[in-house]
Structure 1
Amino acid sequence: MIPIAIPLLEREEADAAREAVLSGWVSQGPQVAAFEREFATLVGAPHACAVSNCTTALHVALIAANIGPGDEVITVSHSFIATANCIRYCGAIPVFVDIDPATYNIDPALAADAITPRTRAIVLVHQMGMPCDLGSLVSLAKRHGLILIEDAACAAGSEIRFNGHWERIGKPHGDIACFSFHPRKVITTGEGGMLTTSNPEFDRKFRLLRQHGMSVPDTVRHGSSQVIFEDYLMVGFNYRMTDIQAAVGRKQLERLPELLSRRRTLASRYAQLLGNLRNLRLPNEPDWARSNWQSYCVGLPERVDQRAVMQSLLDQGIATRRGIMCAHRELVYSNGGPHQDLRQSEHAQDHSILLPIYAQMDEHDQSRVADALRAHL
C-alpha cells in the first residue's frame, strides 16, 4: 500500500521522547520552552508559544485578539473545518469568501469585497503549504484596521518573498501565525501546535490562556525556594503541549531542511511525470512563494469522476484524498450564513485529488502513482 503520507520518525525522536520520560518532568516544561525558542529562531519570530494542536492555537489567537460575539471574521470555506469552528467558538461569525483557483488560497480582492463595519479580522489559510498572497492581505488588513491571523497549519518551512526578501511563513507578517504538528504535516509531534507573533501582549495572553489563566506557571512554582500562590487572571483552557511531544518536535526541527529538500524533489518529479497529461491541472507555485509541499494536489479534467479515480487508485494499493473540504457544505454551516459565491471552492473540492507525498517515498512508488493516474485518465 502507498499511503497518502507517513511521518518521518526515527531513533533520534524515540530517544528524545525516552529522555523526556526518564527526566521525571513530562508535562509542559523545559523541553517545551526549548522547542519554542528553536521554532521562533527558525521562522524569525520574536515570540513562539506551544499549544496542544493548531485548533487550540487558532482559538487562542482569536481570543487574544478580542474577537467575540457578533464580530465578523473573513475566511475561506475551503479549509479543514477547524478554521471556521474556531471563529464560532468565540461567538463570532465566519464570512466565507472564495479562493484563487490557481493556488487554492484566499482571493485578496474577494476578501476586500467582504469587509463590513462588523469585520474585525481576516483568517487566511496557507492551504497545503502553499503561501497566500501575504503582501496584498497585509496591506488590506492595515488599511481597514483588521487583525490578520495566518492559519499556517500546513506551512512549516514554507517561504515567501516579502519586501524583496525570502522569509519563512511564521515570521510575523500579519499579527499571529498558527501551526500544526499533526502526523500529516511536514514535521510532527503526534499532536501539537504553535503560535508566533511580534506582539508581546499577544504572547502574554497566549501563555495565560493555554494554562487556565494561571499567573505563575507550575515550572516556576516548583523551582522556587519560596512558597508561591498563583492567581487565575482570566478564564483559560488546558491547551498545553507536553515535554515528551516537544522533545520529539526539537528533533523534527533538525530534520526540517532534509524533509523540505526531499519533498521539493518529489514535487518536481511529479510535475515531470504528469506534465504531459491533457487537462490535468498541476499545482501552481507563484514565483514569490516556496511551498513545503505538505500535499500535492492535482485538478482533474472536467468530465472525470473524482470518486472513480480515487477508487481506481485504491484498488491498485494507492491512497489518495479528495480535494480540500468546504465548511459551508457541512450540516453545521448550512444555515445560510454570510458568504460569497463559492463556486471555485466547490469546484476545487469536487474536481481535485491529493496524491501521496512523503519524505520516504521512492521513485518506484512515485512512478506507480503517476502510471496508475495516467492509465485511468
Structure 2
Amino acid sequence: MLDLFSGLKRIIKRRAVHIDNAVFRLHWLLTAILLIAFSLVITARQYVGQPIDCLIETNLIPETMINTYCWISQTFLIPSAFSKRVGVEVPHPGVDNSRNVAINDRKYYAYYQWVCFVLFIQGVLFYVPYYLWKVWEGGLMKSITMGMQIAILADEERGYKKKLLIEYLYRHLKLHHYYAFKYFFCEVLCLVNIIGQMYLTDRFFDGEFMSYGLNVISYTQKDIKHRTDPMVYIFPRMTKCTFHFYGSSGDIQKKDALCLLPLNVVNEKIYIFLWFWFVILAIITFLVIISRLFIFFSISIRSRILQTRCRFSNSKYLTIICKNGDIGDFFVLYLLAKNIDPIIMQDIVAEIGKRLERNEFITHLSNGDTERINML
C-alpha cells in the first residue's frame, strides 16, 4: 500500500522558492494530493480484493459470475423502503420486495466503479491553476532572488546580488502589473474550479452531494427511531441486483441477488470529508478574492500588508514604494519578502525607498521652479 503513495513525494517536496500564498497551496498541493491519495486507496480496495459480494438463491450461476455482473452493470434500492423499520419490515435499509415496483420508483447505483477515476481527475484539475501560473511565472522569482534566502553570504557576493536586484526593481517599476494579474486570475480560477467541482460531484451522485453534509449533520440530531442515514442512502452497504438467464426449457428466468458493497464504507467517509473541505476551501478562497479587490484599489492596504511581511523594513519607505508603484510592484515585493532573508530585504526596501524619495524631492523642486518662472 505504501508503494502506491511513493509517486506523491515529487509533488510534496520542499521548494526553495515560493511563488504563491498559503491558500493557493491548499488547492494545488493539499487538495490535489488528498484526492489522488483517496483515488489510490479506492483503486487498491477495488481491484485488489472483493469490491462486491452477492448472494443468490441458486447454484446454477457461479458466485464469481454474479459478482462480476452486478459490479459492472448496476444495483438498485427502493427509496420508499428507507422509511421502513430495519429487521421488522425490511432486512436492510432500502431493500424491499420489488416485484410490483415500477422501474421509475427504483434508485439505481452504478457510480461506485467510477469513483477512483473521478477522484483522480478532480485531483488533476486542482493542480491545473498552479501549473498555469508556474508556466506564466517563468521562473522570475527564482532568477531575481539569486539564492538570497539566507543572510549568511560573503559580503562581496551579498552586496553584488543586492545591487543587481535593486537595479532590476527600480528600472522595472510599474512593469509587473501583468505578472500580478496573471496570478490573481489563477486565484479566481481556483475559486471557479472548486465551485465547478462541487457542482459536477453533485451531478455524479444524482443531485445528492450539495446537501450531503447538511443532511449528515441533521441526521445526527434526530431521534434514532425516525431518521434515515443519508450516508447509507447515497452509499448503501446492501443493494439488490437482478440477473436474467435462460432456464432449462429456454424461457427467460429472473433471479434477485442481495449484494454487499464494503467499498461504500470507505466512500461515505471520503465524501463527507470532501464536502466539508470543499465548503471551507471555497469560503476561504472567496474571501481571498475579495481581499484582492481591496488591495487593488487601496494603496494604504498594500503598505500595511508589506509592513507585516517585511518586518524589519522601514514603513516610511514601504509607503513611498507603494505610492510610486502599482499592484504589480506590490506583488513582486510581497513574493520577494517570502523568499529573501528579512535583513537583506530591509536593505533593498531602504535603497529603493531612498531613490524614490529623492526623485519626489527633485520633482517637487522642479515644479516649484516652473511655478516661479511662470509668475515672473
The two structures have a TM-score, normalised by structure 1, of 0.25
Rg (Cα) greater in structure: 2
- From the two aligned structures, give the one with the greater strand fraction: 1
The two structures have a TM-score, normalised by structure 2, of 0.26
